Amino acid sequence: MIRFEHVTKRYPDGTTAVDDLSFEVAEGELITLVGPSGCGKTTTMKMVNRLIEPTDGRILLDGEDIATVDPVALRRRIGYVIQQVGLFPHKTVLDNTATVPHLLGKPRKQARARAAELLDLVGLDPSTYGDRYPDQLSGGQRQRVGVARALAADPPVLLMDEPFGAVDPVVREHLQNEFLRLQSTLHKTVLFVTHDIEEAVRLGDRIAVYGAGRIEQLDTPATVLGAPATEYTAEFVGADRGLKRLSVTPVETGDLEHPPVVRLDDPVGRAADRLSADDAPWAVVLDADGSVHGWVAADALAEGSGGPTVRDRARPMAAHLPLGAPLRQALSAMLQHDAGWIAVRDGDGFLGVLTPARLHAALRRSTTADAANVPRGKVSLDTVPDA
């Protein structure tokens, strides 16, 4: 969708901001550009909408050399969100959002109706916020208007330059999550500049780690964190990169163990037989509709005293996770509940349990598979070599 071919930008004073850059952003992909101040991220981005012209090389958008496209027509296909937002101070939020569609020829009423939809989409109720002026909004709300406005012309491409940089960490995380939710339905092709590795990891399908004017590594978050290509990248992503990897590696079916399963209403004797058939010290207990109730120990079933069904001997277990949740959430739940395993479900249905050993294997699997170009969905534990 966007292809950089040997792109260099040298400023008249001799500064080489971007040096022989070649990479491609696939349609619907979100690439985060991350790196220290002054390494060329913004220059890279501004060359895509021709706010800056390259000195050498070319950039293709959908196969077309953008140098041959009228910049105004080009910018209609490219939404642009910046940290300072740049809203018109004398226009209401609704009119700010409706400006571009209106300029593109949509009748005013239609443009405003679309603007209201977009405000809703970014989490701002148009009936509350539509008539306000930008200085009557919080920083986070202004950023949302900036995103709504960039989406107004429904461009296939979005350029975002530290769009959530000016807000506090809590609001920022909220905006990031909302943006991910939006992106999962809109599938825009996005270049997203940030100097925050956490943000890059959370949002990017792939991350481009910049050194001076160059990309040091362009890969999935799991690979950049798990197998940094250079010392520079390793240092940039931080000594706690192992912990960060927990956030970007999902729990998959192949990660699960399958202890015996009994039902709340099973007679104790039948449940005990089930456990001893597997020589298992405990079983997962499901209720009548198949959702996880908790667990029961073989010892508890063997005791002479107590009620006649599993219900009387089972212990509740509150730690559940949906399949696909990040390993970090799994570890956090294990620690919170002081549990040696955690139930994983698909909807309400029980799938299996994740243990600390399996969690560790999953973490190793994530980078091994990425490095070997195994599609994430096809990953199984067999792909993990023994340590």
Choose between 35 and 134: whose C-beta lies nearer to ligand ATP.
35
Task: Tell the smallest beta-carbon distance from residue 21 to ligand ATP (Å).
Answer: 11
47-106 positions binding ligand ATP, by CB under 6 A:
none
Choose between 161 and 266: whose C-beta lies nearer to ligand ATP.
161
SS (H, E, C) the chain: CEEEEEEEEECCCCCEEEEEEEEEECCCCEEEEECCCCCCHHHHHHHHCCCCCCCEEEEEECCEEHHHCCHHHHHHCEEEEECCCCCCCCCCHHHHHHHHHHHCCCCHHHHHHHHHHHHHHCCCCHHHHCCCCHHHCCHHHHHHHHHHHHHCCCCCEEEEECCCCCCCHHHHHHHHHHHHHHHHHHCCEEEEEECCHHHHHHHCCEEEEECCCCEEEEECHHHHHHCCCCHHHHHHHCCCHHHHHHHHCECCHHHCECCCEEECCCEHHHHHHHHHHHCCCEEEEECCCCCEEEEEEHHHHHCCCCCCEHHHCCEECCCEEECCCEHHHHHHHHHHCCCCCEEEEECCEEEEEECHHHHHHHHHHHHHHHHCCCCHHHCCHHHCCCC
Which region among 38-46, 58-66, 166-174, 333-341 touches ligand ATP (by CB under 6 A)? 38-46
Task: Tell the smallest beta-carbon distance from residue 237 to ligand ATP (Å).
Answer: 17
Q: Binding ligand ATP by CB under 6 A: which of 6, 11, 315, 324?
A: 11
Task: Tell the smallest beta-carbon distance from residue 374 to ligand ATP (Å).
Answer: 33
Q: Binding ligand ATP by CB under 6 A: which of 7, 32, 42, 223?
A: 42
193-212 positions binding ligand ATP, by CB under 6 A:
195
Q: Is 360 in the site for ligand ATP (CB under 6 A)?
A: no
Q: Is 38 in the site for ligand ATP (CB under 6 A)?
A: yes
Q: Is 165 in the site for ligand ATP (CB under 6 A)?
A: no
Q: Is 40 in the site for ligand ATP (CB under 6 A)?
A: yes
Q: Binding ligand ATP by CB under 6 A: which of 30, 41, 263, 370?
A: 41
Q: Binding ligand ATP by CB under 6 A: which of 21, 25, 30, 39?
A: 39
Interface residue list for ligand ATP (CB under 6 A): 11, 13, 15, 17, 35, 37-43, 195
